[in-house]
Amino acid sequence: MTKKRKAISLTELMVYTAVISIAIMAFGNALTSLMKNSKKSQIQMQSSAELRNLLAKIETDLTEANQIIQASSFSVTFVADMVRNPNYNLHADSDGDGIENIKDPDDDNDSQQKFSLPSSDQWRVGYDLEDDDEDNDGNADVRIRIYQSTGGYVYKELSLNNQAWSAEKISPVSLKKFELTYYGSKREDLGRNIDLGNDGLPNTLDTGEGDGIISAREIDWALPATGHGNRSGSVDTTNELKYITSIAIALESDSNGDGTTDAKLNTELSPPLLPLKRKR
C-alpha cells in the first residue's frame, strides 16, 4: 500500500515562501555589496596607480632641479639640468673633445671661463652640474613649471632657451588635492639660525621654535640679518628661494566624483643639485 504524502498547508507554504524570500533578499544584498566593494576596490587600485605614475613624472623632473625660481602651494618653477631637454643627446659629443656627453663633465668645454666672469654671469659657464647654458646661446637651457590648474588637473610646462612655455597635462584625472610644501635645512648655513618658529624671533618659545624643522613660514619671517625674509606671506624672493632644500608633495584623488578620497600619496623630495646655486 502506498503511503499518502501529506499535503502542505497554506500556513506552511506561507512560511516556506517567507523563508525563501528572506534568503533570496540576503543573498541579493550580499551580492550587491560584493559588487559595490569590488567596484570600489577597482577604483581605488586604479586611482593609486594613477597617482604613482603622476609622482614618477614629477620626480623625474624635480630631481634635476638646481634652482627654484617660483614656489607656491600649487605650483613650482625651477631651472633644470640640460638632460631634461627632450632634444639633448647623451651620446653626442657637443664640444668635439672625443668624449660622449654622458661621460663628459663639461659638454661645452667652458669650465675655464668660470672665474673670469662676474658671479651674476657664472651660471652660463662651468662644469655641467652648474652650467645652465650648455649650448652657449646666452639663455637658460631648461626651465620647468609643475602646477595644478583651476580644473584640478596637473600640468607640466617646459621652456627651452627662454622660449615660450609649452604645456602638457600629466595627470589623467582631476585631483582632489595637489599640495606643495617647502622646507629648508638646519644642517646648512642658510638654515642654521632661522629655526625661530612662526614669529621669526628668537627665545619666544612659540610654535615651531627649535623643533629642527625649517618651514616656509620661518624662511619668510626671519628678517635680516638673521635671515633673508620679508614677511610677505610666501617664499617669493631670490634669497628666500635659496633656502629651499626639500619639497613635500601631497596628492589625493576622487576619480568617480563621489566626494570620497579614492587614493592618496605623500612624499618629500630633496633635489641634490640645489646647493650649487645657494652661494651665488
Q: What's the pLDDT tens digit per position in 148-186?
A: 999 999 999 999 999 999 999 999 999 999 999 999 999
Per-residue confidence (pLDDT) for residue 3, from 0 to 100: 57
Domain that holds residue 111: 86-139
Any domain includes 119:
yes
Per-residue confidence (pLDDT) for residue 211, from 0 to 100: 95
Any domain includes 131:
yes
Per-residue confidence (pLDDT) for residue 37, from 0 to 100: 62
Going across the sheet that includes 142-148, the strands are 65-71, 75-80, 142-148, 154-160, 166-169
Low-confidence ranges of the chain (pLDDT < 50): none
Per-residue confidence (pLDDT) for residue 5, from 0 to 100: 60
* 99 CB burial (10 A radius; 0-12, 13-18, 19+): middle
Per-residue confidence (pLDDT) for residue 92, from 0 to 100: 93
Any domain includes 112:
yes
Query: What's the length of the chain?
Result: 280
Per-residue confidence (pLDDT) for residue 195, from 0 to 100: 95
CB 125 within 8 A of CB 114: yes
Number of domains in the chain: 1
CB 264 within 8 A of CB 51: yes
* 36 CB burial (10 A radius; 0-12, 13-18, 19+): exposed
- Give the residue carrying C-alpha cell 628661494: 241
Any domain includes 118:
yes
Cell of 189: 648655513
Any domain includes 58:
no
Per-residue confidence (pLDDT) for residue 7, from 0 to 100: 61
Any domain includes 98:
yes
Any domain includes 90:
yes
Per-residue confidence (pLDDT) for residue 119, from 0 to 100: 82
Rounded to two decimals, the pTM is: 0.84
Kind of pairing between the strands at 142-148 and 154-160: antiparallel
Side-chain half-sphere of 229: how many Cα atoms within 13 Å?
28
Any domain includes 178:
no
